């Protein structure tokens, strides 16, 4: 019933389309951009619901206060404490290696404001766990959710981050001025 509702709301009522040509493996990092609005979270949750997927996501720890914290954790949220140094990438890579299923969605900008200096933790998790990175773009202009590229990271972070950023160049966020490459 939830899947049917999300499908109706996202695709029929809100008019979004999908162009997903990459197969979603049991273990992967989902790199989602541009992230310029809190509406991106709602779209992501509707997409996961419509497709019948369970996907974890990283979110700043400030959102995990009662009662929202319980809600976000139930949806698959993992709090990130940005004010302290932690080994979260190592922990998540280890979790990915040991789990049968591991799908983690990350917004590499790390903020809804323009930030050309993208976070690289998602890349390091993928390298350490030996899992692919699927590139999902949200285009508000065309109401399109697209994943037509994946990368199996080799460790050549500079070239592959350039390749990842280039993939997202044509996508228009809800607030395009807040998206920087």
Please state the domain extents for the chain.
Answer: 2-174
Q: Are 65 and 38 in contact (CB under 8 A)?
A: no
Which pTM was predicted? 0.90
Task: Give the contacts of 46 (CB within 8 A, at least 6 positions apart).
Answer: 6, 9, 10, 14
Residue of 57, 20, 22 lying closest to 150 (CA atoms): 22
* Tokens representing residue 166 in the block: 């280039």
- pLDDT of 76 reads 67
Q: Which of 38-52, 112-126, 156-170 has the lowest mean pLDDT?
A: 112-126
On the question of pLDDT at 61 being above 70, the answer is: no
Q: What is the mean pLDDT of the chain?
A: 90
Q: pLDDT category, 44, cuts 50, 70, 90? A: very high
pLDDT digits (tens, 9 = 90+) for 97-109: 999 999 999 999 8
Query: Can you tell me whether residue 77 is helix, strand or coil?
Result: strand
- pLDDT of 83 reads 66
On the question of pLDDT at 42 being above 70, the answer is: yes
Question: Is the peptide bond between 67 and the residue preceding it cis, with omega within 30 degrees of 0?
Answer: yes
Residue of 130, 131, 128, 123 lying closest to 165 (CA atoms): 123
């Amino acid at each position: 019933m939830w899947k049917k509702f999300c499908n109706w709301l996202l695709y029929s009522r809100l008019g979004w389309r999908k162009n997903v040509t990459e197969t979603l493996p049991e273990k992967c990092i989902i790199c989602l951009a541009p992230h310029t609005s809190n509406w991106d979270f709602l779209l992501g949750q509707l997409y996961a619901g419509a497709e019948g997927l369970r996907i974890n996501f990283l979110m700043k720890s400030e959102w995990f206060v009662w009662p929202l914290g319980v809600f976000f954790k139930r949806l698959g949220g993992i709090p990130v404490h940005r004010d302290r140094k932690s080994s979260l990438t190592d922990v998540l890579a280890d979790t990915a290696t040991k789990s049968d299923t591991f799908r983690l969605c990350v917004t590499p900008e790390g903020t809804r404001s323009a930030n050309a200096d993208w976070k690289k933790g998602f890349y390091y998790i993928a390298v350490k766990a030996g899992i692919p990175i699927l590139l999902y773009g949200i285009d508000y202009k065309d109401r399109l959710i697209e994943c037509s590229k994946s990368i199996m990271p080799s460790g050549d972070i500079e070239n592959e981050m350039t390749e990842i950023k280039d993939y997202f160049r044509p996508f228009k966020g809800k607030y395009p001025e807040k998206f920087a490459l």
